[in-house]
Amino acid sequence: MKITGVTPIMKRYSENPILTSKDIPYASTMVYNPGVVKFKGKYVMVFRNDCFKNKKYHHTDLALAFSHNGIKFKVENKPLSFMRDGGYPGFASGAYDPRLTVIKGRCYLCFALDTFNGIRGGIAVTDDFKKFELLSLSLPDNRNMVLFPEKINNRFVRLERPFPVYGMYGKFKEKFDIWLSESPDGRYWGESRLVLGADKVKFSNAKIGPGTPPVKTKKGWLTIFHAVDIDENRKKCGWAGNWKKRYTAGVMLLDLKDPSKVIGISKTPLMVPQLPYEYETKGCRDNVIFPTGIILEEDGSVKIYYGAADTVIALATADINDLLNRCKPI
Ligand code: BMA
C-alpha cells in the first residue's frame, strides 16, 4: 500500500532512540511500547522488555523508569513484579504493551496479557509503582486499552481493540476496530460502542488500535492511534517469519461529552517508519511505529513516545495546534 502526503509536523528527537536494551540493568533483548505519565513531579515510564535466550524467546517483563525532563530516563534495578510468572491462572506470558493514565492523583496501568485462553486487556491501579491493585481483566480477545484521564458523565471511559474473528472483512484480511466502554468503578465495564472502524482510516487495509491515552483540549479529546497496512510485496524483515505489515501513527479528535463520536481524523499518517531504527533493525519486526505514551506540556508542545521496530523506544514532538489541525471530519 503506497502512502503519500505525510506532513512533517512531528519532529523526531535528534538523539533517538531514547532507550534501548543496553540501558536495562537486567536481562533484556528488546525494549518497546512505553506508557508515560507525569506523576508526583516526575515523568514515569513503564515499558515492555522482551528477553531472548540463545535466540529463542524467553520471557516478557514490564520495566519501570523515571525522568526529570521526559527525555533521559533512568531504569530501576528490577522489573515490576506485577503479573509476572503465574500471577494469573492460565497465564502464558507477562503483561505487555502498558499504557498509563493519571486519574484524580492515582495512576492506572492498562496492559495486555496473553493467556492460554486468549488475549485479555487488564487494568490495575497503583499509588507508588510497588503495589498494584488489579481492577479488571476483559474477556478474550481484547487489548490496546487506554483510559481517559478523567471520568466523563461520572464514568471511567476506555478505548479498546477487540479482535472479532467473524468481522466484516471485505478487502481486509484482518479488520479490527476501535471501541469504547464505560465503567462506574473501573471493574465492571459496559455500554460498549464502536468508535472508529478500520475501513474509515484511509491509510489502513487491516487493523487499527488505540495508541496513546486521550488528552483533553478545548476542541475535544485528542488521541493517537496506530494503523496497519499489509503489503504482500514487502520483503521479509526482522526475525518474524512472514512479516508483511507496517505500523503507522494517526491522530483523531473525539467529542468531549460523548467520546464515542469522532469529530475529526488525520487523512494521512502522522508518522510512518522512515528512519533506520524504525524500518530496518536487527530486531523482531521492522517497519513499526507503535505510539503508546503522550504528554501535553503547559506550553502546548506534545511529547509522543513510541516503540520503534519492536526493538527500541523513541520520542517525537509536535505542537498541539498542528495535531488538532490535522483532524478533519471523516
Ligand atoms: C501488536 C503487539 C505489539 C507490537 C505490534 C507490532 O500486535 O504485539 O506489542 O508492538 O504488534 O509488532
Instruction: Judge if the beta carbon of residue 288 lies within 6 A of ligand 1.
Output: yes
Instruction: Judge if the beta carbon of residue 30 lies within 6 A of ligand 1.
Output: no
CB 115 within 8 A of CB 91: yes
CB 108 within 8 A of CB 123: yes
Report field, pTM of the whole predicted structure over 0.75: yes
Locate 245 and state its grid cell: 505489515
Distance set, CA 245 to CA 161, 286, 289 (Å): 18, 9, 11
Residue 32, Cβ density class (10 Å: 0-12 exposed, 13-18 middle, ≥19 buried): buried
Domain borders along the chain are 16-325
- Give pLDDT, residue 281: 65
Q: Strands 208-210 and 178-183, how do they pair?
A: unpaired
Instruction: Judge if the beta carbon of residue 176 lies within 6 A of ligand 1.
Output: no
Q: Strands 312-319 and 56-67, how do they pair?
A: unpaired
- Give pLDDT, residue 228: 95
Residue nearest to atom 2 of ligand 1 (CA): 97
CA 11-61-162 angle, to 5 degrees, is: 70
Relative to the CA of 247, which ligand 1 atom is closest? Answer: 6
Instruction: Judge if the beta carbon of residue 97 lies within 6 A of ligand 1.
Output: yes
At the topology level, CATH places domain 16-325 in Tachylectin-2; Chain A (2.115.10)
Tell the residue number behind the cell numbers 510468572, with chain if given: 85
For residues 211, 213, 215, 219, the Cα torsion angle rounded to the nearest 10 degrees is: 60
Instruction: Judge if the beta carbon of residue 286 lies within 6 A of ligand 1.
Output: no
- Give pLDDT, residue 327: 97
- Give pLDDT, residue 106: 98
For ligand 1, the distance from its centroid to the CA atom of residue 236, given in whole angstroms, is: 16
pLDDT in tens, the chain (330 residues): 555 445 589 999 999 999 999 999 999 999 999 999 999 999 999 999 999 888 788 888 899 999 999 999 999 999 997 876 545 555 566 799 999 999 999 999 999 998 878 899 999 999 999 999 999 999 999 999 999 999 999 999 999 999 987 766 666 778 899 999 999 999 999 999 999 999 999 999 999 999 999 999 999 999 999 999 988 887 666 666 678 899 999 999 999 999 999 999 999 999 999 998 998 766 668 899 999 999 999 999 999 999 999 999 999 999 999 999 999 998
